[in-house]
Chains A and B, each alone.
Chain A
């Protein structure tokens, strides 16, 4: 055992020990917006465009406007790999810097953070994902999921299926399959679909796909062939989506009966099926493509200055635009928080109020260059989601185009279920705090 090796070992030990003594750098003057993203692992295919979209919009605000209200945004990414435990670790490490909002980008991570949000006073923005029941603002004052929940999305899917079949009565006796990732994210729509199956008389079949088997879906699609469902709702993410589309094409499943949730609408997901995948549908709540003022601004201020990591020719990808939409919500929440509190350097509690009073009107959208890109959005104290309309988009082989009008979710049926689920969540967690935050609207 030579002296050289001994010193190498000692140096390594010293480096490691020193890290324990160092606490993370405290944020400088600015608004700290951490982004929990994943650019590695099996979900990177979906995670990278979203991460870049979120990053680029916020960077554009910094470059074009000098931040929000004159205060620069401090953007920092933390790699989670879509892993729940790493996500929680990321949360712990960014918490020390007083984040104003957390975007976990994973339903699994969101579920772990929901109990902590109130204790740590940091709002969780789980845009169109997370726990559907958190739309009940009275039970979950610190969790937000605009513009629509998974239950809203599933109800819109049923609406569309009914429309194609000629009415809800024609759904009776049909079989609807839920091809989902075997994770909290994938299981989210199950309670709603089961309730609707009981109401409208269709059979619901579940096809879970384990995370490690995402690219090996042969057996699952054999089951699909055996059951012959009339419609399949795809609640997949990451590598599961392109494989599902490819398998659907391979087993001759009618591609226009395969409808993905908004997260299954990535460009690469549909492209994986080749030419035969034309006709694949997915829900969406914003526009696809690069033909919007906001995207031109992003190209000018971010891409042209070399501040973006996303390839220029892929700007306008559905998931890239999704990231832009998410960042828009964050930015508007911060702006609203600044208006309400009168401060410019806002903190987590202020942004919570900002999120709760979010009101993005048509005029505001036009101001931001998002006319036609997004629909108006409003959040209230009791309704943290808004249950806004979404539309069905269809892949034509090259790009996503809007197929149907904006469809309202079946709110009269969904909202009571959400409130019931929220109440049972609170009941199942003894000691769940009553809402004590005052309402501003």
Chain B
């Protein structure tokens, strides 16, 4: 009886008692949800266009951020570093397409998935080799991103909102909007969708698969760079970020593997759900449930709606 009370009544009482903490928790969840969504966006891009589940997205985030910081630490001004980092991501896209994707063109999806494991480990080693293992500080102010925070004294307590989080949310929404328009309105976007539907049909109408893959990995690389900048601004750039990318998997499950708006909706649900679950129900279980709550939410979702909220229904052909 007491357990039922603790699970179902007490957390809500606590929510009401300290509404400023509730708002702070929701805001924290919102921000981390946006960041998860950014990572998931990279996954969606590549999956939508080539059917490959790019496990290396996480390390691409770290690698992109490290490249940016690395160029800046060599003395190059921030904006030029940014352009150079974009260039490096383009080179990475070309290399990946040439070395990994082209030879594995007709293999089953699971082989391509495992190949991205290989890319991940290779980039981890390369990144640490070139940049060193120490965490690096992101060049937030040099990129004209806002710093500092604002305290709102409301509801009996206070809520702290970091400016960088607001900037991250705005940038993420802009990027999602841009990508959405890109996919639906431009010629290349349509070509990407055609390739996602069927490689053979796309080839037969003259779409060059290799070019499309380079473009898509490059776009994912840019998304990774932006994600890296945002994540790095909140906490330093280090290889620990790569594991956080695993959190994007539940986001994709919720939102659907092929849906861009789904990535953000899924991200928000997971982010906010995780933080509220951890803060209000976590102490019942000893704390630290954030590590697995997202996956359990995704698992429950999978039982009832495997294609996610926005994804396409999986049709099995015999």
Contact = CB atoms under 8 A, between A and B. Distances in A.
Direct contact of A and B (CB under 8 A): yes
Interface of A: 39-42, 44-45, 48, 182, 208, 210, 212-216, 218-219, 222-223, 225-226, 239, 242-243, 246, 250-252, 268, 272
A239 to B, nearest CB: 6
Contact of B128 (A40, A218, A225, A268): A40
Contact of A212 (B24, B137, B160, B240): B240
Interface residues of B, number: 34
Nearest to A207: B287
B238 A239 contact: yes
A41 B279 CA distance: 29
Interface centre among B240, B241, B288 (most CB of A within 10 A): B240
Nearest to B289: A219
Nearest to A79: B133
B238 A215 contact: yes
Interface string B141-153: 0000000010100
B97 interface: no
8 contacts: A42-B240, A45-B238, A215-B236, A215-B238, A222-B21, A226-B21, A239-B135, A272-B236
B291 interface: yes
B90 interface: no
B126 interface: no
A45 B135 contact: yes
Contacts of B288: 182, 208, 210, 213
B213 to A, nearest CB: 25
A43 to B, nearest CB: 9
Contact of A45 (B134, B275, B290): B134
A218 B32 contact: yes
Interface centre among A212, A218, A246, A251 (most CB of B within 10 A): A218
Nearest to A49: B134
Interface in B173-221: none
B25 interface: yes
Contacts of B291: 210, 212-213
A225 B24 contact: yes
A225 B21 contact: yes
B244 interface: yes
Contacts of B315: none
Contacts of A48: 132-134
B70 interface: no
A42 B62 CA distance: 13
A225 B18 CA distance: 11
B279 A223 contact: yes
Contact of B282 (A213, A219, A250): A219
Contacts of A212: 240, 243, 291
Given A226-B18, A242-B135, A250 B244 contact: no
Interface in B15-59: 18, 21, 24-25, 28, 32
A215 B151 contact: no
Given A210-B291, A250-B162, A42 B238 contact: yes
Given A212-B240, A215-B241, A216-B244, A222 B133 contact: no
Contacts of A182: 288
B239 interface: yes
Nearest to A48: B134
A250 B160 contact: yes
Given A215-B240, A250-B160, A222 B149 contact: no
A218 B243 CA distance: 17
Given A45-B134, A208-B288, A252-B151, 20 more contacts: A39-B132, A41-B239, A42-B238, A42-B240, A44-B133, A48-B133, A208-B287, A210-B288, A212-B243, A213-B288, A218-B32, A218-B275, A219-B275, A222-B21, A222-B28, A225-B24, A246-B235, A250-B149, A268-B134, A272-B137
